[in-house]
Structure 1
Amino acid sequence: MEIGALIFLIVAIGVGIYILFIFIPVGLWFSALLSGVRISLIQLVFMRWRRVPPNVIVRSMIEAHKAGLHITRDDLEAHFLAGGHVEQVTHALVSASKANIELPFKMATAIDLAGRDVYEAVQMSVIPKVINTPPVTAVSKDGIQLIAKARVTLRANIRQLVGGAGEETVLARVGEGIVSSIGSSESHKTVLENPDFISRVVLEKGLDAGTAFEILSIDIADIDIGKNIGAVLQTDQAEADLKIAQAKAEERRAMAVATEQENKALAQEMRAKVIEAEAEVPKAMAEAFRSGHLGVMDYYRMKNIEADTSMRENIAKPSPKDKKK
């Protein structure tokens, strides 16, 4: 019984020590103590209750202390509870300190909470980043299309990271500057001979204003010749003018046909009136016979005159043989 009780006691002590080391991070406290960071075991236990990982806070405090930075535990806990990345902020502060870049703790946490990678921003301040613009298409004054690609060297502006525009805005502004520079050139040959002209003009515009970056240089990597937009526009204009002229000619032709049809209808109407008038002649003659104003001999004389007139008209007409001659 004594041996069993002794084994049970040893197991109980072991389990107790294991549970103690799980809930009370003694090893983490000892590492902090050896690194010169003073933090109590009670605070480490309270961190667990506040759902703050003690290892993250302690490692960040050790890193900052070794780099000569004074960051309190409360500041790190507050930033973690606000949804920030404690280790990223600590790395950024240490890197900025080594590179002699002024970066206060409040600014670093504000940048991190704004959704930007503050450590990457510090690295970008030390080592500028090169980004390539997509192909930018522009047309010079002589109507030749040019397709340009540029390399933009950027350095992060720490003070403008919160509220400053991102890389997309910089690329859009650079593209706009390239388009306006090429568009103001008298000839595409001028651009091809001096591509650095575009870089100078674009840099003078101050495109990095209001952004989180500082433009160090803009280098034109490649320029290709595209279509002759001027010739294409002239061709399209000529085709449009031709279609307009054809439409107007068709309109005039249609009007002429309509006028001709109206004249034919008018002629038919006049011919009908003549026929109607001729139909009244026999009636008038019959009425003259009945009233005694026209005699038989007068009627015969009129018929003889009509016959003589018809004969003269037939004689005056040329024969088919004369037409052939």
Structure 2
Amino acid sequence: MPLNTILVIVLIVAAIIVFFTVASAFSLWMQALISGARVGLLNIVFMRFRKVPPKLVIDSKIMAVKTGLDISTDSLESHFLAGGNVLRVVQALIAADKANIPLTFKRAAAIDLAGRNVLEAVQMSVNPKVIETPRVAAVAKDGIQLTALTRVTVRANIDRLVGGAGEETVLARVGEGIVTTIGSAINHKQVLENPDSISKNVLGKGLDAGTAFEILSIDIADVDVGKNIGAELETDRAEADKKIAQAKAEERRAMAIAAEQEMKAKVVEMRAKVTEAEAEVPLAMSQAFKNGQLGVMDYYRMKNVAADTQMRESIGGQQGSEKKNNKDK
């Protein structure tokens, strides 16, 4: 294919692309001009080269102008290129203007880029949101457990949306306040008679400080009586004391058994020594006979004394058995 023909084809394709681009830009320019939103035709054309959707910017610009807001096209383009949601920011500015809430484009863009839904925040400022907390359990001073269900009415604080804590923090602080209030009550009946004391005490603590919300009211939806925690704790403590006492008694018993075993061992040792000594008696007597230190009459007197002692022990043992039998009867 000749070079001239290729050039002609390229020029025709380029002309077609330029025609449609200019035609689309011209259509948007006419739409903006008729709506009173002045945007340059070349600016619309160059938006495509800057990878900015012209229709989104023009529609947002027209929407703002129709509601009396003056937002520059460069600001809308810059916010889009920064990764923001242009349409949502413009809608939030319109809603804030209608509700007489002071909100600038710069502030709304910062909130949007911070990851917050600025339109939802403005709507929540106009129409407060009700957050229902999970059931919070607390124990009064008399040991009775109470569970409370609370509804917290909050309004978005636009000035603290960037860097402010979320709903989880508000719920956690409200739960902490409920536990503190019930725990300081003398008895659970006092809380049941005046459940509004919980909301008054919690609301007076300034729990919305540092959060992205303003607490308007705290309402107690339900209060139920739970377990007798105090009695359960006392029961557990008594059971623990019982186990400790049993352990100490078992320890003393083991020590007593050990002492008894030691005493028995000593008795066995003493008996062994006595037996050993008794075994040496005949040898000593034999030696005494040989040396003339012991006579025959002395020996018989000693035997008589031993027999007499044995008889007395036998008689005493029989009398003791008879007394025991009579006592058992």
* Residue of structure 1 equivalent to 2:80: 80
* Residue of structure 1 equivalent to 2:62: 62
Which residue type is aligned with residue 21 of structure 1?
Answer: F
1:20 counterpart = 2:5: no
Mapped to 2, the partners of 1:49 and 1:319 lie a distance apart of: 129
1:269 counterpart = 2:269: yes
SS of residue paired to 2:206: coil
Which residue type is aligned with residue 89 of structure 1?
Answer: V
* Residue of structure 1 equivalent to 2:7: none
Displacement of 1:78: 0.5
Per the normalisation by structure 1, the TM-score is: 0.90
SS of residue paired to 2:34: helix
Q: Output aligned runs, 1:253-292, within 5 Å.
A: 253-292=253-292
* Residue of structure 2 equivalent to 1:142: 142
Displacement of 1:322: 5.4
Q: Output aligned runs, 1:103-122, within 5 Å.
A: 103-122=103-122
Root mean square deviation, CA, Å = 2.3
Q: Output aligned runs, 1:214-293, within 5 Å.
A: 214-293=214-293
Mapped to 2, the partners of 1:316 and 1:116 lie a distance apart of: 105
Q: Output aligned runs, 1:37-56, within 5 Å.
A: 37-56=37-56
SS of residue paired to 2:145: strand
Structure 1: gaps spanning 5 or more residues: 1-11
* Residue of structure 2 equivalent to 1:31: 31
Displacement of 1:298: 3.4
* Residue of structure 1 equivalent to 2:205: 205
Per the normalisation by structure 2, the TM-score is: 0.89
* Residue of structure 2 equivalent to 1:128: 128
Displacement of 1:297: 4.0
Q: Indicate how the Cα distance of structure 1 residues 299 and 52 shifts in structure 2: closer, same or farther if over 3 A, else same.
A: same
Q: Indicate how the Cα distance of structure 1 residues 145 and 316 shifts in structure 2: closer, same or farther if over 3 A, else same.
A: closer
Q: Indicate how the Cα distance of structure 1 residues 316 and 136 shifts in structure 2: closer, same or farther if over 3 A, else same.
A: closer
Displacement of 1:257: 1.4
* Residue of structure 1 equivalent to 2:192: 192
Check the 8 A contact 2:28/2:55 in 1, yes or no.
yes
1:42-94: CA deviation from partner (whole Å, max 9, x where unpaired): 11111000000001100111011111111001111011100000000000001
Across the two proteins, how many residue pairs are aligned to each other?
314
Mapped to 2, the partners of 1:322 and 1:41 lie a distance apart of: 135
SS of residue paired to 2:71: coil
Which residue type is aligned with residue 130 of structure 2?
Answer: V
SS of residue paired to 2:61: helix
Mapped to 1, the partners of 2:126 and 2:312 lie a distance apart of: 120
Q: Indicate how the Cα distance of structure 1 residues 164 and 274 shifts in structure 2: closer, same or farther if over 3 A, else same.
A: same
Mapped to 1, the partners of 2:142 and 2:316 lie a distance apart of: 75
1:151-181: CA deviation from partner (whole Å, max 9, x where unpaired): 1111111111011111111111111111111
Mapped to 1, the partners of 2:157 and 2:321 lie a distance apart of: 108
Q: Output aligned runs, 1:86-97, within 5 Å.
A: 86-97=86-97
Mapped to 1, the partners of 2:222 and 2:316 lie a distance apart of: 91
Mapped to 2, the partners of 1:145 and 1:321 lie a distance apart of: 66
Check the 8 A contact 2:21/2:45 in 1, yes or no.
no
Q: Indicate how the Cα distance of structure 1 residues 44 and 315 shifts in structure 2: closer, same or farther if over 3 A, else same.
A: closer
1:21-58: CA deviation from partner (whole Å, max 9, x where unpaired): 34542221111110011112211111000000001100
Which residue type is aligned with residue 256 of structure 1?
Answer: A
Mapped to 1, the partners of 2:17 and 2:302 lie a distance apart of: 153
